Structure 1
Amino acid sequence: MRKFFLLPFLLILFLAFDTVAQEKKPNIIFILADDLGYGDVGFNGQKLINTPHLDRLAREGMRFNQFYAGTAVCAPSRSSLMSGQHTGHTFIRGNLGVEPEGQYPIPDSVETLAEVLKQAGYQTGAFGKWGLGPVGSEGDPNKQGFDRFYGYNCQSLAHRYYPTHLWDNGEKVVLKENGNLEYNKQYAPDLIQTQALGFIETHKDQPFFLFLPYILPHAELLVPDDSIFQYYKGKFEEKPFKGFDYGQGAKSGGYASQQYPHATFAAMVARLDLYVGQIEEKLRQLGLDENTLIIFTSDNGPHKEGGADPVFFQSSGGFRGIKRDLYEGGIRVPFVAKWPKAIRAGEESEFTGTFWDIFPTFAELAGAKTSESIDGISFVNTLLGRGGQKKHQYLYWEFHEQGSKQAVRYGKWKGVRLNVKENERAPIELYDLTVDKEEKDDLAARHPEVVKEIATFMQQAHLDSPIFPWE
């Protein structure tokens, strides 16, 4: 008789425990800026552009000082993020366009971060720029774990801030007021932000993963003529940029001319900051802020396209290089994590992490398993202030443009190899980042034993790709 009554009681207790466990899963929001430099934000020293919402995010969360992007350009950096693999292993290793619209697709065989979180019970949405496969292909975001996608499928078309169309899952959303590129009234980032805020509202009662790959502040340099732009207009000396303007016969993926490139770039970063503030405010309104993990970062270093001036804004934060460089300025990115329920405010971390660590970290928080094929390690222990954080032996990057390049971070050491296409055993430059963050003093001749180890790591980490060979 006791067993008869005990079994239902245990069943109820188990169900109640399981419900509580589900409730404890954090919502996850990953905000990915586009071509935002380490030094473009106030919490990393930016003096000319106001980023109050991002600075507050850093004060109320944990700031990572040594976090790295997947690589130095858009698509492969995103592939690294989604696959949990570095660029010597991840499938997409370059910006390879396909017709009629999009980039070479990430295949079904790749298990993505979104798929793992969806299987763990999360509602998944992506709003912004995709760049990992055309609509209807294997790489379509709806086939890679996202329940909802809204934005630019093709990163080349994302060069235009007043495009002719966006995508809502597989439906083409024609922006009639932008028409044939003559009428520029529908600013795509604003439209995307509205949809992202709506996703939070729709899924407020269930755990969600919201991926926000914003296109700001990638070129072209263009922003609405509103109070944000007016605040910066006239503050800086300007050198007008002549580009491919909107109007009859305009290129769909060009960069528009800009009379005020400095003011416009500053306004674009400030608008990005405003979007982050709107996301946080929506969470507060819905009572979701305490148990939502927000991570903010950038896909690579700052650009100098379309009239952008990373030297003027010190966008690289004192590091050498910009986008497309494997020096620190091209791959070290701003990185903040905020989760009031679990992360102590005002913390700074020197954990040397990277995009392929995001996959196992989010999977652990969601209670999901990951495959052994990933290269990342979870940094949940760092986020929660616990001991026992596992560390990488080394980090590896490769870049398939400009003659092809490789780089390794190995403790305090940084090794960079250029012109790999011509010579896969080209000389390796060696820098001690503890005393030389600008990577000016090449120590290779003084430390041949370190160079030899780094050369071994480069050889081990790179697997040949028939679709993305060197260069």
Structure 2
Amino acid sequence: MKRLLPLAAGALMLSNPVSAEEQTKPNFIMLLADDMGWGDIGNNGHPLIVTPNLDAMADNGMNLSRCYAPCATCSPSRAAILTGRNNLRVGLTSYMKTPADGFVGKWHLLESEITYAEALRDAGYATAHYGKWHVGYLCQEQTPKNFMTPGMAGFDDWFTSHNILYTYDPYAKLPNNKDEKHLYFDNGKFISLKEGQARPELRKDDATIVMDKTLGFIEEQAKAKKPFAVAVWFHHVHNPLSQNPELRKLYPEDMDDKLALYLSNVTAMDVEVGRLREKLRELGIADNTMVMFSSDNGPRVAGPGQAKLIAGEANDGKFRYGPSGSPGPFKGGKYGLWEAGTLVPGVIEWPAKIKAGSTSAVPTVLTDYMPTVLAAAGIPMPNDRTYDGIDINPLLEGKMTERPAPIQFAAGGSRSLIKGKYKLFIESKRNEQNIMLFDLEADPYEDNNIAAKMPEKVESMKAELLSWSKDAEADYERSLSEYNAKN
């Protein structure tokens, strides 16, 4: 059993304090899309997508135009979000795969890691996870040793699948090459294909299924006046996508079906964002609740077999979109550390703290989530390990104009460092001569490698990145040793 984390002397006071009889600690909701591109939201310039609720959320909160996922693939980002630590430190540079398991995809988040859910739960919060997990298997029958459930990671209530599901009517059939244990578990109880097909509440849009669970949990906590933290991790818009027929009607009949399929799956999440925002206001807790929407990595638009992107008018005609998502005007996509691999939508609404209509181009990363919510709840960070995320409450309050710490990325053999306006990119750790430097302020689309023009800047940032990488890789080795000892 993990140690309890002590509370700070006093909880953070909100700008609109409430009476002593009412709950004063803020609530936290993280809405996480899967494989959604930076451009897949109306506020970021998509010419066709229907996202009125996300747009309204941004208009009433803050749009983070330089919000980064911790990594360019799913599992590493999710592990980093949960722990506030770069994915390299927790033993992962690709999805559910490490040398320790022969790269077969049975990795799990280690129990020695402390998640934000554990810290909040130990401080009196009710915690829940609904949707996709993908940082550990959910039962011993599926893999006897390589499992880590949301319950083991600090979530009191969970209705969760291990990985992908069909996004509309997920119990219609199993995803290709997946066994039944990829379907939902309800607090550890497996819901089989046969059982799910007989339950009407599980035969609709998966985003609705996940939000139904969320709203029920929130109502229960609001009635009890108990602070809560919910992770709503949608399966949308990762393949296999399936078509919600009602949402298809929101797009032109003559639109390419594959494009309409993708866009309507984004809209499915948007509809549920609308239901959530309405419920928070109905319960009178919207002001005291931080809601964040983002994605675990960029879209699947790079590589062989991907459909050609369509040029839009935004960003001087550099904006691109298609049936696998939109990287906006940025280079690359999922799996790589070019900007579009990690630059994702970032919208935060929190009326008690954030001025409506705020925007920020200060770089943030989802590894910041744990330090931020713990600081807002008045809970100290554990001091026995290294954290890569920072507390961005000052940014949300309009008091931070520059990020005080760099952001590091590790994906496969690639490394990159963002510090101020510069990005150093080592595309392959095995070839440190292939180093690129970009001025993201003057060249956000990474068109001009200026490494040859600024050798001193390259050397200083390279030394900083390699020093961080050495330290993180030491944590990586410790994580693998712990994993091997268990398995």
On whether the aligned pair clears a TM of 0.5, the verdict is yes
Within the alignment, does 1:271 sit opposite 2:268 as a pair?
A: yes
Match of 1:73 in 2: 73
In structure 2, the partner of 1:378 is 391
Shift of 1:311: 2.1
Kept in 1, the 8 Å contact 2:331–2:445? The answer is yes
Give a deviation string over 1:367-403, Cα, whole Å, max 9, x none. Answer: 111023212210111112336x783342110101xxx
Q: Which residue, 300, 322, 334 being the options, matches 2:345? A: 334
In 2, distance between residues paired with 1:363 and 1:300? 24
Shift of 1:54: 0.4
2-structure distance, mates of 1:390, 1:446: 25
Q: What residue in structure 1 maps to residue 250 of structure 2?
A: 231
Equivalent in the alignment of 1:14:
none
Q: Which amino acid aligns with 1:117?
A: L
The corresponding residue for 1:419 is: 428
- Quote how far apart the aligned CAs of 1:175 are: 3.6
Matched residue type, 2:414: K
| Alignment of 1:194 onto 2:192 | no
Specify whether residues 168 and 429 from structure 1 end up closer, same or farther in structure 2 by C-alpha distance, changes over 3 A only. same
Cα distance change of structure 1 residues 179 and 25 upon mapping to structure 2, 3 Å threshold: closer
Do 1:59 and 1:346's aligned partners in 2 also have CA atoms closer than 8 Å?
yes
Would the alpha carbon gap of residues 390 and 49 (structure 1) be closer, same or farther in structure 2, given more than 3 Å must change?
A: closer
Q: Residue 319 of structure 1 aligns to which amino acid in structure 2?
A: F
C-alpha displacement of 1:297: 0.9
Q: CA deviation at 1:192?
A: 2.0
The gaps in structure 1 that reach 5 residues or longer are 1-16, 239-259
The farther-off stretch of 67-76 and 83-92 is: 83-92
Corresponding residue of 1:145? 154
Q: 1:230 to 1:141 in 2, by over 3 A?
A: same
Q: Which has the larger radius of gyration?
A: 1
In the TM superposition, what whole-angstrom CA distance separates every residue of 1:411-431 from its partner, at most 9, and x where no partner exists?
A: 1111111232x43x2421111
Q: CA deviation at 1:52?
A: 0.3
SS of structure 1 residue aligned to 2:408? strand
The answer (yes or no) to whether the contact 1:37–1:302 under 8 Å persists in 2 is yes
Alpha-carbon deviation of 1:332?
Answer: 1.0
Distance 1:310 1:438 in 2: 19
Given that 2:125 and 2:229 are in contact with CA atoms closer than 8 Å, whether structure 1 keeps it comes out as: yes
Which residue is 1:130 aligned to? 133
For residues 152-174 of structure 1, give each alpha carbon's deviation from its aligned partner in whole angstroms, at most 9, with x where no partner exists. 1x225578944453111211012
Give the structure 2 partner of residue 36 of structure 1.
36
Does 1:446 pair with 2:444? no
Distance 1:284 1:96 in 2: 38
- Residue of structure 1 in register with 2:309 after alignment: 311
Conservation of the 8 A alpha-carbon contact between 1:175 and 1:186: no
> What does residue 8 of structure 2 align with?
none
Pairs aligned (count): 419
Report matched runs for 1:93-242 at 5 Å. Answer: 93-96=93-96, 103-136=106-139, 139-152=148-161, 154-156=162-164, 161-162=170-171, 163=174, 165-176=183-194, 185-204=203-222, 205-226=225-246, 228-232=247-251, 234-236=253-255, 238=256
Question: 1:112-168 CA distances to partner (integer Å, 9 max, x unpaired)?
Answer: 11111111211000111111111256621101110011121x225578944453111
Q: Say if 1:399 and 1:406, in contact at 8 Å, map to a contact too.
A: yes
**Equivalent of residue 379 in structure 2, options 355, 368, 376:** 368
% identical aligned pairs:
31
Query: Does residue 468 of structure 2 align to residue 461 of structure 1?
Result: yes
Alignment CA distance shift 1:177-1:185 (3 Å): farther
Question: Which amino acid is 2:406 matched to?
Answer: Y
The 2-side partners of 1:28 and 1:308 are apart by 36
SS in structure 1 at match of 2:457: helix
Q: 1:435 aligns with which of 424, 439, 442?
A: 442
Taking structure 2 as the reference length, the TM-score comes to: 0.79
Aligned AA for 1:280? R
Shift of 1:283: 1.0
Q: Which moved more, 1:165-174 or 1:74-83?
A: 165-174
Residue of 384, 389, 410 corresponding to 1:398: 410
Taking the aligned partners of 1:51 and 1:114, their CA distance within structure 2 comes to 29
Distance 1:86 1:278, change over 3 A: same
The code of the aligned residue for 1:392 comes to P
Aligned-residue offset at 1:74: 0.3
Asked whether the 8 Å contact 2:248–2:260 carries over to 1, the reply is yes
Q: 1:409 to 1:303 in 2, by over 3 A?
A: same
CA contact 2:215–2:279 (8 Å) conserved in 1: yes
| Cα 1:232–1:308 shift into 2, 3 Å | farther
User: Does the alignment pair 1:61 with 2:61?
Assistant: yes
Does the 8 A contact of 1:303 with 1:310 survive in 2? Answer: no
Separation of aligned partners in 2, 1:55 and 1:109? 39
- The amino acid of 1:232's aligned partner reads Y
Which residue, 261, 264, 272 being the options, matches 2:258?
Answer: 261
Query: Which residue does 1:282 correspond to in 2?
Result: 279
Note the C-alpha offset of 1:18: 12
Q: Provide the C-alpha distance between the structure 1 equivalents of 2:203 and 2:356, rounded to a whole number of angstroms.
A: 40
* 1:348 and 2:359 aligned: yes
C-alpha deviations, 1:333-360, integer Å up to 9, x for none?
A: 1111111122110111222211111111
Distance 1:103 1:230, change over 3 A: farther
CA distance in 2 between partners of 1:384 and 1:187 (Å): 36
- Cα distance 1:310–1:344, how it changes in 2: closer, same or farther (>3 A)? farther
Residue in 2 that maps onto 1:249: none
Change (3 A) 1:352 1:31: same
Contact residue 29 and residue 292 of structure 1 kept, 8 A:
yes
Letter in 1 for 2:293: F
Q: Does the CA contact (< 8 Å) of 2:207 and 2:268 recur in 1? A: no
In 1, distance between residues paired with 2:127 and 2:402?
Answer: 28
**Partners of 1:79 and 1:91 within 8 A in 2:** no
How far apart are the structure 1 equivalents of 2:126 and 2:111?
20
CA distance, structure 2, for counterparts of residue 455 and residue 277 of structure 1: 44
Q: 318, 322, 334: which is aligned to 2:333?
A: 322
2:290 is equivalent to residue 293 of structure 1: yes
Q: Structure 1 residues 18 and 374 mapped into 2: Cα distance closer, same or farther (>3 Å)?
A: farther
In 2, Cα distance between the equivalents of 1:266 and 1:361? Answer: 31
TM-score normalised according to structure 1 size: 0.82
Measured after TM superposition, the shift of residue 57 of structure 1 is 0.3
1:253 aligns with none
AA in 1 matched with 2:364 = G
